[in-house]
Amino acid sequence: MATTLPRAICLTLLVGSVVRAAGGLGQEPAPPIFSSESDLVVLHVTVFDRHGDSVAHLNRDVFHVVEDGTPQTISMFSGEDAPVAVGLVVDNSSSMLTRRGMVMAGVMAFAESSKPEDQAFTIVFNEHVRRGLPDTVAFTSNATLLQASLAAIPPGGMTALHDAVIAGLDQLDMAERQKHVLVVLSDGDDNASRQREDDMLHRAERSNALIYAVSTARLDSSVGNERLLRKLARSTGGELYTPRTERDVVAAFAEIAGNIRQGYTIGYVPTNAAHDGSYRKLIVRALVPGIRPPVVHVRDGYLAPLHPHER
């Protein structure tokens, strides 16, 4: 079952239709960037116009945050490019036997947009969930090492999607970077997890990660479970990609990898200070005078923290 976040909640919101991920730093992880002395909610926001192009150089005054219908006061704002931590969670079941080239090309799309201060890791799963990197390496920015981490285990077996996503979110919690992204490559079916679907979704709601899902269901007309992948992604502010060819899969990875560096960081202290574990509905708008309002995609909300004795 999911653990409860500390009092300070770092939420990741997406404004726009796509976001991109990048690589990582080869160093030992530090505790997540949360402060036990503050209830600051941190929002990572990306803005796109109606043509799908990112909108840069916006100032603090154009952003408006509403929590459970109540406007919030923005107390922290930055428009600078921030380092990211990204986890690649890759299906390695029998359905992936002939798709190694596609997976490697997708990894390269991330590596090409990485910066030295970024952090990356891989989770490879069939009925077993394995960290791809060596035990002594928590995160890396080395493209060769990332590829090797996915190629080391031959495909085969069943699919433990729920367990793999939870493992990826747990690993992201150890990252030093404040912006967290999880990219999941799967058809959405699960036939081997110990954790339930609800456990996975609950864990995602308590995380500070954007989740992007790239479905493989349409590559071979398999049934899959794109409904679950869409629900998982959009509940965190991410998106579901439904490519029909392997080339489209690589393009989806490249699109995600390029846009994640765009955006703004916004922070506020909620007017509702209760630590009751309730679900808080969130809306973020960017209102720029004189132009059509940008497209805004955000996560549905977050689960408030509990008092320590209730965790």
Could you tell me the mean pLDDT of each successive run of 10 residues in the chain, 311 residues long? 40 35 35 48 80 82 95 90 88 84 83 81 94 90 83 86 97 89 94 96 88 91 89 88 92 84 84 90 90 80 73 53
Q: Which of left, alpha, beta for 253 (phi over 0: left; psi -120 to 50: alpha)?
A: alpha
Give the whole-angstrom CA distance, residue 183 versus residue 169.
Answer: 11
Locate tokens 């629900």: which residue? 231
Helices (H), the chain: 100-111, 143-151, 161-172, 197-205, 226-235, 246-259
Locate tokens 């402060």: which residue? 35
Closest to 64 in 3D by CA, of 273, 303, 268, 279: 268
Contact 29, 249 (CB under 8 A): no
Give the whole-angstrom CA distance, residue 63 versus residue 286.
Answer: 5
In the numeric block, which tokens belong to residue 76? 């922290």
Return the pLDDT at 306: 80
Closest to 242 in 3D by CA, of 265, 276, 213, 263: 213
Q: Where are the beta strands (DSSP E) in the chain?
A: 9-10, 41-45, 63-67, 70-72, 74-78, 84-91, 119-125, 129-131, 179-186, 209-215, 240-241, 264-268, 279-286, 301-303
Give the whole-angstrom CA distance, residue 94 versus residue 97.
Answer: 6
Length of the chain: 311
Return the pLDDT at 109: 80
Return the pLDDT at 2: 40
127 phi and psi angles, rounded to 5 deg: -80, -15
